[in-house]
């Protein structure tokens, strides 16, 4: 018969993991539709209501919001809608609008205006032109874990799913006035950094610490905050941070992605508890699969890591849903995710929706207008007023 301690351990392993989200928005001028450097004013205004839940980012085109950790997805969704509404209203007062896109659709010539601060100045001095295209915006999902060792074990299990997560969240087909031909150009922009893309398979916490120490000593990263891997143990909160996604057009898009990531993490936790080893696809193949996912998004082809052959990205997404369905059911999230998947497959990923807006006439101005409306959600904003 299981002991009381065993029962407590089992309950802890089956309890829903906490999930929190960081979202980054771009500020745009409603007339020119170009990104606008008003972040300092908008953040100062919004902070009166949101406090540390809103902050600036590297460029003065960007605003970042941070949710609390939640166990109930509906509560997370409610807070994300509140955060967007407050920032959108503050932006309106300063004559600009917010969009949630992985990349600036329309932008002035490089380099962008950089936010003041010692860290950002150090980054520009060290990484030079790499910072010129950092108006990219992401959605970071934080999963609560008890310690860094557990976070690294979960990271090992999540690595093979990174290409599918890129396909699901692709939302950056345009950059500064041109079509890139990619569904997620932000993924390619971030891949240029010294410590970016899929993380290594970590054999132990000591392996992680040794590698971080070497990267820091080499000057390739300034500190732990400069580890731009798609999955990493957070350097400031006790979470595993999944950083692979473009900023999502709508709160519903964000919520679907957060639900999928939490379920993958819970599935990984079950695998770790059962002593199941994490798959170890070749680093080169995993990187190639991420590239293909960034190029094609959900509408094209992905790479099956078990065969190295192209397959429809939508089929890989369905495999992911089948894999996490038992965990989603356990958490009470299965219906929400199935509905979200069905909608995503029917109307397309964010990149396809941006392209559809462009095809309806009005060029890239129409794309920006579409993104303004999508970001506002239940609080409608006329982009030309």
In the three-class reduction of DSSP (H, G, I as helix; E, B as strand; rest coil), residue 241 is classed as strand
Cβ atoms 327, 266 nearer than 8 A: yes
Long-range contacts, stretch 36-41, CB < 8 angstroms, 24+ apart: 36/61, 36/96, 37/61, 37/112, 37/113, 38/91, 38/94, 38/95, 38/96, 39/63, 39/115, 40/115, 41/94
Within a domain: 382: no
The strand ranges marked E within the chain are 19-28, 54-56, 62-66, 97-99, 138-144, 174-175, 178-179, 196-197, 228-229, 231-233, 239-246, 301-304, 309-312
Please report, in angstroms and rounded to a whole number, the separation of the first and last CA atoms in the chain: 68
Distance CA 139, CA 126 (A): 25
Within a domain: 164: yes
Give tens-digit pLDDT for 55-67: 998 889 999 999 9
List the beta bridge partners of residue 27. Answer: 98
Give tens-digit pLDDT for 334-384: 999 999 999 999 999 999 999 999 999 889 999 999 999 999 876 555 544
Q: Lowest mean pLDDT: which of 19-23, 126-130, 139-143, 200-204? A: 126-130
Q: Strand 309-312 to strand 62-66: parallel, antiparallel, or no bridges (unpaired)?
A: unpaired
Distance CA 55, CA 24 (A): 10
Residue-range definition of the domain harbouring residue 338: 4-376
Mean pLDDT taken over the chain:
91
Within a domain: 142: yes
Within a domain: 384: no
How many structural domains does the chain have?
1
The tokens for 109 are 């010539």
**Could you check whether the bond before residue 111 is cis, i.e. omega within 30 degrees of 0?**
yes
Q: Which residues contact 11 (CB under 8 A, 6 or more apart)?
A: none
Give tens-digit pLDDT for 207-225: 999 999 999 999 988 888 8
Tell me the whole-structure pTM to 2 decimals: 0.93
Within a domain: 332: yes
Within a domain: 180: yes
Say which residue the tokens 């932008």 belong to. Answer: 107
Domain with residue 68: its CATH number is 3.30.590.20
In the three-class reduction of DSSP (H, G, I as helix; E, B as strand; rest coil), residue 190 is classed as helix
Distance CA 129, CA 120 (A): 13
Element (H, E) at 351: helix 350-359
Q: Does the pLDDT at position 98 exceed 80? A: yes
Within a domain: 179: yes
Distance CA 75, CA 173 (A): 31
Give tens-digit pLDDT for 119-162: 777 777 777 777 777 789 999 999 999 999 999 999 999 999 99
Cβ atoms 96, 243 nearer than 8 A: no
Within a domain: 130: yes
As a whole number, mean pLDDT of residues 189-199 equals: 92
């Amino acid at each position: 018969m299981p002991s009381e301690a065993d029962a407590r351990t089992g309950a802890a392993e089956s309890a829903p993991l906490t999930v929190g989200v960081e979202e980054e928005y771009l500020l745009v001028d409603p007339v020119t539709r170009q990104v606008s450097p008003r972040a300092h004013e908008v953040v100062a205004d919004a902070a009166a209501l949101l406090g540390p839940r809103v902050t600036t980012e590297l460029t003065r085109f960007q605003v970042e919001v941070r949710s609390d950790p939640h166990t109930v997805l509906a509560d997370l969704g409610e807070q994300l809608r509140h955060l967007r509404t407050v920032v959108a209203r503050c932006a309106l007062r300063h004559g600009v609008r917010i969009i949630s896109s992985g990349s600036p659709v329309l932008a002035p010539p490089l380099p962008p205006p950089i936010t003041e601060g010692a860290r950002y100045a150090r980054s520009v001095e060290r990484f030079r032109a790499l910072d010129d295209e950092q108006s990219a915006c992401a959605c970071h999902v934080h999963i609560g874990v008890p310690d860094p060792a557990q976070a690294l074990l979960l990271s090992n299990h999540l690595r093979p799913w990174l290409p599918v997560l890129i396909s699901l969240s692709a939302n950056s087909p345009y950059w500064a006035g041109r079509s890139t031909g990619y569904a997620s150009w932000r993924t390619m922009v971030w891949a240029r950094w010294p410590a970016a893309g899929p993380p290594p398979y970590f054999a132990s916490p000591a392996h992680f610490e040794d590698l971080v120490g070497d990267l820091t000593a080499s000057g390739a990263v300034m500190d732990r905050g400069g580890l731009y891997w798609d999955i990493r143990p957070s350097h400031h909160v006790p979470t595993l941070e999944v950083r692979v996604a473009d900023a999502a057009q709508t709160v519903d898009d964000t919520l679907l992605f957060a639900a999928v990531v939490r379920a993958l993490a819970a599935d990984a936790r079950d695998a770790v508890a059962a002593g199941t080893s994490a798959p170890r696809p070749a680093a080169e193949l995993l990187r190639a699969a991420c590239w293909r996912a960034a190029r094609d998004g959900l509408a094209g082809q992905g790479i099956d890591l078990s065969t190295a052959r192209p397959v429809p990205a939508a089929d890989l997404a369905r495999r992911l849903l089948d894999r996490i369905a038992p965990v989603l059911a356990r958490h009470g999230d299965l219906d929400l995710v199935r509905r979200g998947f069905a909608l995503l497959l029917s109307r397309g990923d964010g990149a396809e929706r941006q392209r559809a807006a462009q095809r309806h006439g009005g060029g890239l101005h129409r794309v920006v207008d579409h993104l303004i409306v999508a970001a506002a959600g239940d609080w409608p904003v006329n982009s030309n007023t």
